[in-house]
Amino acid sequence: MHRFQHSPWYTVVVTILVTCFAAFWAFGPDLTPRTVLLPGNTPQALSQAEFLGHSNPKDKIDVVVGLKLRNEKDLDDLLSRQADPKSPDFRKFLTPAQFEQSFSPTKADVDKVVKNFKKHGITIVAVSSNRLLIHARGTVAQFEKAFKVNINVYKLRSEMHFSNDRDPSIPADLSDVVESVIGLNTFAKFHSNVKGAFQPRFATPVGYSPKDIAGAYNYPNANNSAATAKYSGKGVTIGIATAYKYDPKDVDAFWKQFGITRTGKIIDTPVGGTATENNGETTLDLQQIGAQAPGADIVMYMGKDPSFVNFTLVFNQIVQDNKADVVSISWGMNEEGTGSAQMHTEHNLFKQGNAQGIAFFAASGDDGAYDDQDKVGTYAVDYPSSDPYVTAVGGTALTLKADGSRKDESAWSGAGGGISHEFDRPTWQVGPGVPTNDKRNSADIGLVADPATGYAIYFEGQWDQSGGTSFAAPNWAALWGLATEANGGRLGPANATLYRAASTAASYGSLFFDVTSGNNGNGQGPGYNAVTTWDYPTGWGTPNGVNLLQWLINDKPVAASPSTGAPSKK
């Protein structure tokens, strides 16, 4: 029997075939690297815009690439335990370093994405310390090649924009790492949830004052003369996620007018560059929080503009810094306009913030149940308030008696609230009146937002009157800050706690003012009605601040009794 011998020519042929076979699997039949689409990264507005031509290939743009979490199921389990009084992990929050060690993408994964960018000549501006974002800068031509898109010029409502014409593609070996590509268009930006222009101008204040709000909702601070325990937010840090900037003279004049003595610091933190434009939203957020929590330090996280790129960087800066115990957000966009990829990336950031014990409060929107104004009459909700790791603050119409006491409160027709198309209903979203559908429901809570009564604001050297859930969110954030001071440390994210508090029939009526009339149709349709206990326009209703604060600081871990196994308070 003869042993078979490989001839030299046979070895060469086999080597070539093996090499070609490997290339086919790595690159595909056209010998180009295999790619996959990243869905949800094309702006909704593109379908309504007029195409004008191709962008200048040499124009520079900034892009933020969002990366996926590692061990996400473990993170979800931890977040559930942190919110459960029966768990040993109740309110045991992580540091940023602990989060990064367990849940951030690996350095090797980040290096793969960076290598791909550099291959196209794109500059890496920064890799965030939590490794969830890569900030890159390059030319139109470089990003077109990197993501296999065309970046064109479009016109929409007399405004000029550039935009990618399709969803970006990435190398297949990055599909388990990359979540989103933010910044390929200028359609994508958040809007302020202020209702009504800052007109007309007044010589003296018109609208609700800090004392009116504190009295109506029984805040445990100096603005409420009926409160016995008065907190100021001392030792607490409240963050404001916003865009543009403010004039310190405007906020100082507001506080002086209403007798507010500020002792906390204000720390300005520009993000994405330094803004040059003063903004009414940014101004009113600072005025409202500074008035209700005058002892709290306030960190102003101010994006250069409200682009998605800058707001993603703002949210990430907040969770990386881990300074803010509570955060107020009064900007947003309907879910479809935001896009699923963008929401998934920021969802990861809110998860990190929650794991670190940060509570986020966001305005639920000012267009009622129909937040997408490009699709009039179609139910839609505002983001980021629709995210389960953010507390959605709806709006009411409130009237007071001559002595400042409460007369009547109903749902404001513009209060955002409805059913998310993006996020599933979290396990904590249960209780009397809460829908049992599969999706996240909002709002969670409410506060006066109706511009018909409005709030006083001092802007550009004059008094204005305005409304919207933009005012409701910072006032709730301030109340959570007062409770944080009383608790002696972070209470953590608010949602699971508020739903536990409201679901106890014995305590609900003392903790919340139930809003049972009105709806959020906003003149566009039936909307949703306010009803007993929970409803879409106002959530659980508006706060009875003194009582709610006391419940929160009494909310202690529950342990099993060694003898009976029954829960017992520690």
How do residues 291-323 score in pLDDT, each as one tens digit?
999 999 999 999 999 999 999 999 999 999 999
pLDDT score, position 198: 56
Predicted confidence band at 194 (pLDDT cuts at 50, 70, 90)?
Answer: confident
d(Cα 280, Cα 86) in Å, to the nearest integer? 44
pLDDT score, position 323: 98
What is this structure's pTM?
0.92
Give, as one character, the DSSP assignment of residue 385. T
What secondary structure does DSSP assign to 455-505, as a single string? EEEEETTEEEEEBSHHHHHHHHHHHHHHHHHHHTS----SHHHHHHHHT-H
d(Cα 90, Cα 80) in Å, to the nearest integer? 9
> What is the average per-residue pLDDT within 193-197?
77
d(Cα 296, Cα 440) in Å, to the nearest integer? 32
Evaluate if residue 407 carries a pLDDT over 60: yes
| Residues 6+ positions from 361 with CB-CB distance below 8 Å | 326, 327, 328, 329, 390, 391, 393, 473, 474, 476, 477, 480, 494
Which of 385, 367, 383, 365 is closest to 375 using CA atoms? 367
204 contacts 213 by C-beta, under 8 angstroms: no
d(Cα 371, Cα 333) in Å, to the nearest integer? 8
Helix (H) or strand (E) holding 232: none
d(Cα 336, Cα 347) in Å, to the nearest integer? 15
What's the pLDDT tens digit per position in 361-383?
Answer: 999 999 999 999 888 889 999 99
475 contacts 288 by C-beta, under 8 angstroms: yes
d(Cα 266, Cα 239) in Å, to the nearest integer? 10
User: Structural domains in the chain?
Assistant: 37-69+104-182 (no CATH), 195-207+237-554 (3.40.50.200)
What's the pLDDT tens digit per position in 456-503?
Answer: 999 999 999 999 999 999 999 999 999 999 999 999 999 999 999 999
Helix (H) or strand (E) holding 298: strand 297-303
Evaluate if residue 567 carries a pLDDT over 80: no
